[in-house]
Amino acid sequence: MTIVTNRLDRTAKQLVLTVQEYSLFAWQAVVNLFEPPVYWTDFLIQSDIIGVGSTSIVLLSGFFTGAVLALQSAATLAEFGANGLTGRFVSLTMIRELGPVLTGVMVSGRNASSMASELGSMIVTEQIDAMRALGVDPMRKLVTPRLYSTITMLLFLTIIADAFGILGGGFVTVFLNHQNGTQYFSTAWEALRYPDVIQGLVKPLFSGFIIASIGCFYGMKTSGGTEGVGRATIQAVVSASVLIIFMDFIMTHILLSLLGTG
Amino acid sequence: MSQGDTHTTTPAPDALELRTVVEARHVTLGFDADPVLQDVSFTVTRGETRILLGPAGVGKSVLLKLANGLLKPDKGSMMLFGEDTRAIPEGELLTLRARTGMVFQEGALFDSLTVRDNVGYQLLQDRGISDEEVDTRVREALKFVDLERTFSLYPSSLSGGMRRRVAIARALINNPELILYDSPTGGLDPVTSTNIIELIMKERDLHATPSMMVTHRLQDAFMLCTHRFDADAGAMVKLPEGQADASTTFLMLEEGRLVFDGTLHELVHSENPFVREFLE
């Protein structure tokens, strides 16, 4: 019994310590932007890697998610004689929920893992220590550019995912369900209100923060050689993905209350 | 002994302080409750080369990382250029560290950057230095380690010895006021090791840069003491029998404690059983 209690005690303390370390880490990464030196070149490089590099997976996943939504909804809507509302259904679902969440999860799988493994490898090969020994702050040089570029690029990637999701739904509606394309796109457009768009564009800012801060955090606290790098990568992807979905729930609740679309 | 003699051999405290680059005062450090270093005190003054000896795992590399503030002591204080590394914030420590150079055990080169970008890393962070000047200074540093031809290569295409030499070039490019070598010859063949030691000697004798070198290879340590770099010949030459370089002295660690601090002569005549066992 004592062993179990001790283990629980240790785990709880470890969890609190990790949350504290993460909070300080994320805060430091955020405030570094407001004090020189700021490495803008690294910001642009990371924006290219994270943003441009993730475009294809976001574009494809958005397109096929929209297509599946159109396929699934068409049958149900037909039962109520509401075939013409497919466009409205797809656009609202993509813009409010699936666009931000799917993009977040896809980018997390690609970039939180790459950040954790890249920084983790740099830790175990003493490259981070070498950077500090050369008088360069790794938080400013490596973490802050990744954080802000992920936040910025995730916003644009979500817009791309939304657009291609609606396009995918349109493709299914026209070529598989043989419905009117003009009706699909006009209902998709007319259904949208500003609160929907705001909801869809606020979430990626938080997802981007989660992806980069979690990926860099686990990377920078890697220990235990190459095995540790693998462990850090897994922890980063799992934590970031779960947190994105949790954040989506919280943000949806808050934004629905604030914007009144519920 | 005359009054005058006393003044020349024992510098006034202020003068000594000015000459001191690194000073460890009763430094103690542990990881996860395991003590790694206990009550270690020593100094490194200008122009001095201190060789840290001891078997693997006694805390030599940790001591080196304490010297430039990459680690901070749990107890005691580590003074770098007169500043207590434990008392100043990381931002100020970065500025202090920029005045030092460090060669890591495996080189720790940035594998995604070319040799040029690795060696010129510190200069490239300074927006006031043009690309042309960076190139010139990188080529000079690479010439010092005889690796000009690697300018555009990536670290992955270099041998172990070449990586260490590039790491030395990176450590030297900004004319550091202190150089820290962490096992610079570890894992290298004897010929390459001798080349690396020759480079360290060259820096010591041409620029009189104070340094600390961690090693568990006695032959490397003794070679640094018994040889000097001849700038005219462009190679190291042996000192006359019985002579040793006065600026090169030794520290020896045993299980985290400093058990020896002295010259080569004192080392080889030490009565300390651990020192004797290590030497034999």
Predicted ipTM beyond 0.95? no
Calculate mean pLDDT across residues B252-258: 93
- C-alpha span between A78 and B4 (Å, rounded): 108
Q: What are phi and psi for residue A222, nearest 5 degrees?
A: -65, 140
pLDDT at B2 over 80: no
Calculate mean pLDDT across residues B94-101: 93
- pLDDT tens, residue by residue, A27-42: 999 999 998 899 999 9
CB-CB: which of A37, A125, A132 is closest to B97?
Answer: A132
What's the pLDDT score for residue B14?
57
Instruction: Please report which confidence band the pLDDT of residue B16 belongs to, taking 50, 70 and 90 as the band edges.
Output: low
Cβ-based neighbour number of residue B218 at 10 Å: 13
What's the pLDDT score for residue B125?
87
Contact between A88 and A187 under an 8 Å Cβ cutoff? The reply is yes
Query: Dihedral of CA B105/B110/B116/B121: which sign?
Result: negative
DSSP B3: H
Instruction: Please report which confidence band the pLDDT of residue B159 belongs to, taking 50, 70 and 90 as the band edges.
Output: very high
User: How many structural domains does chain A have?
Assistant: 1
| Chain B neighbors of A141, CB-CB under 8 A | 125
In a domain, A173, yes or no: yes
DSSP B240: P
What's the pLDDT score for residue B52?
96
DSSP B157: G
Calculate mean pLDDT across residues B235-244: 91
How confident is the prediction for chain A on average, in pLDDT? 94
Kindly compute the dihedral angle of the four CA atoms of residues A209, A213, A214, A219, in this order, to the nearest 10 degrees: 150
User: Which residues, in sequence order, are bridge partners of residue B104?
Assistant: B107
Cα A226-A232-A233 angle, rounded to 5 deg: 95
pLDDT at B19 over 80: yes
| Chain B neighbors of A130, CB-CB under 8 A | 102, 104, 108-110
- pLDDT tens, residue by residue, A122-134: 999 999 999 999 9
Calculate mean pLDDT across residues B41-60: 94
In a domain, A32, yes or no: no
What's the pLDDT score for residue A261?
57
In a domain, A183, yes or no: yes
CB-CB: which of B91, B102, B108 is closest to A127?
Answer: B108
What percentage of residues in chain B have a pLDDT greater than 90?
79
- pLDDT tens, residue by residue, A194-237: 999 999 999 999 999 999 999 999 999 999 899 999 999 999 99
Instruction: Please report which confidence band the pLDDT of residue B10 belongs to, taking 50, 70 and 90 as the band edges.
Output: very low
Question: What is the domain extent for residue A231?
Answer: 43-259
| Chain B neighbors of A136, CB-CB under 8 A | 94, 121-122, 125
What's the pLDDT score for residue B128?
81
What's the pLDDT score for residue B127?
74
Calculate mean pLDDT across residues A14-34: 95
Cα A26-A129-A14 angle, rounded to 5 deg: 45
- C-alpha span between A88 and A190 (Å, rounded): 8
| Chain A neighbors of B98, CB-CB under 8 A | 134-135
Q: Do A127 and B122 touch (CB under 8 A)?
A: no
Calculate mean pLDDT across residues A238-261: 91
Assigned CATH topology for domain B3-99+176-275: Rossmann fold (3.40.50)
In a domain, A53, yes or no: yes
Q: Is the pTM of this model over 0.90?
A: no
Calculate mean pLDDT across residues A85-110: 94
In a domain, A4, yes or no: no
How confident is the prediction for chain B on average, in pLDDT? 90
Q: How far is B72 from chain A (nearest CA, A)?
A: 13
Q: Do B68 and A133 touch (CB under 8 A)?
A: yes
What's the pLDDT score for residue B15?
56
Calculate mean pLDDT across residues B221-226: 94
In a domain, A144, yes or no: yes
Q: Which residue has the tokens 């300390």?
A: B272
